[in-house]
Structure 1
Amino acid sequence: MSDSHAAAPPFVPTSPFDDPGADVILRSSDGVNFHVHRLILSVASPFFKQMFTLPQPASEPDIPVMPVSESAILLNCGLRLWYPGADPAADEELELVCEALHVFIHKYDMPFLTSMAKIRLRPRLEEAPVAIYAIACRLRWMDVAVEAAQAALKLPIRDFSSRQIDSQLSAINTDMYQALLHYHAQCGAIASSATADLAWYEVSADTPGAYCTGADPHCPRNADKRYLCSNGEKPLRRWFVDYLGELTALLNRTPGGKLDNPDLLLKAHKGSHLCPYCGKNGLERIVKFSALLDAHIQKDLDSIKLNLDF
């Protein structure tokens, strides 16, 4: 009978860290040997260069062994970030990548990894913006922190917590996390104000339902509120006001959320088709309005700064 609790198989280095022509071995804390070249390590890292200048014991084997304090998995991840001929694993967890970056940049004195690491992390911003924000704060990368904070606007704050994210956030200080929360809240207030008050919007023939003159009882005007537009107050149709209200709630939760949300567009489209006047080119007008709204919001959000001090 198989043992469901059997230990995981030992880590086995693959190319290029199994090179029989290597002239030094890095031995991980769990006893795994990485066959590497001292010239490559010396050029990349002043730490290793200094290590190789130290006198070696007379009993040193033909291939010297250098014990390091990192595990095989961490050492493999860190080496694959930069070692010639190494193929970085695309599915490595962000937590592991972050720890490897921190070790190799700081402990092994390899600041050149910064630009390479940013290139590797940026494609994962949409996937894990809060985790990458924490990584950027830990490594003091202001540009990536800003990009991650902007990407996090597509999430509600309640999604800022998970096992992986919490492990990253625990490595940064409270001020850094509070800066992210404050930025999200500011952007939510700014974005949602664009649908609560249409002073920025110029009414035109494309305004959804604004020029409906039908007497259809299913298409009432907004009885309790008038929306101020750039060329004067215009009474809007109830179905469109309801659509704006749902957009306001959406933008307050997710300031960077997609305004072409299919569910909201479909609901507005159905509302407009209760009236033959509003329904004519109704969806097209809603989509055009959403595009104008998105451009206006993005312009306003660009003025909001992430308050980080490093």
Structure 2
Amino acid sequence: MERTYILHMFTPGRQMSPFDINMAVDAGYQVVVPYCGVVAGDVAGLTQDAIFSRGPKGVKATGIFIGGRDVLLAADMLESARKAMVPPFEVSVIADPSGSYTTAAALVACVERQLQRSHDTDFAGKRVLILGGSGTVGRIAGVLAAGLGAEVTLASHRDAATAQEAAKATGERFGCRLDGAGLPGPQARREALAQADVVLATAAAGVQVVSVDERAAAVRLLVAADVNAVPPEGIAGVGVMDDGKALADGRAVGIGALAVGNVKYQTEHRLLAAMRNAEKPLYLGFREAFAKAREIVAEKG
């Protein structure tokens, strides 16, 4: 008898993301079951409930998705699920809280491509400023960029303490160096932009974090990338469809939200499909998402 493909979706939140449910169905899962209000201590028990009922062959048609909004908690839950497996009862697991792992992976892969294509360079030694950096996407993009040798600053429009706490907690959890900075006004942003080689805008949708005047201060800028698809544009002058389009002044190129989003969509889809088709269990976090996003970007040539 052919097994039905089942995806169990765990989230600490009140509801599972409809986006991720749609993605799971489109990747071939036939039964998708959300579990809301899941805390870290629930994961092991839920995982073992999922693995023991289908037999060693049935577990190949079973997967677990970990959502929520906390990038650190999601990583911990992924690890808890992995530790709860009892081979040969073992299923594939993916974590993608608020889509942040796959979005950050796509963002950094797109920027890496444009650094090479437009400037014949890479992230090593570059100063990367992430505006909205204390949020989910900003934190993980910072970890990935730091892993490629960049000097990363997570910036918050609220205050320095928020940014510094995000940088400290994220850096300690994932073993990298991240700095935090509060940029509450235009002058502070201009000063930070003047030192940046790469600017990533990962703030909330519909929030412009860099104006035309502020962007003019970014005299070192090579690449500006924005994940905000809701008007106004997060970085003035970077259109949602841009993918390496030269900005009006200087030598920088822009990457817009839909260019990043296309890679993000393909990354999540392919990871979910890989779980469904895997002969051996997969454990997929943001590093695996980045590897997949790099593959997708390389295919674009």
Which category describes the TM-score, using the shorter chain as reference length? under 0.3
| Larger relative contact order (CA 8 Å, sep ≥ 6) | 2
After TM superposition, the score normalised by the length of structure 1 is 0.27
Query: Which one has the largest radius of gyration?
Result: 1
Query: Could you say which structure has the higher strand fraction?
Result: 2
After TM superposition, the score normalised by the length of structure 2 is 0.28
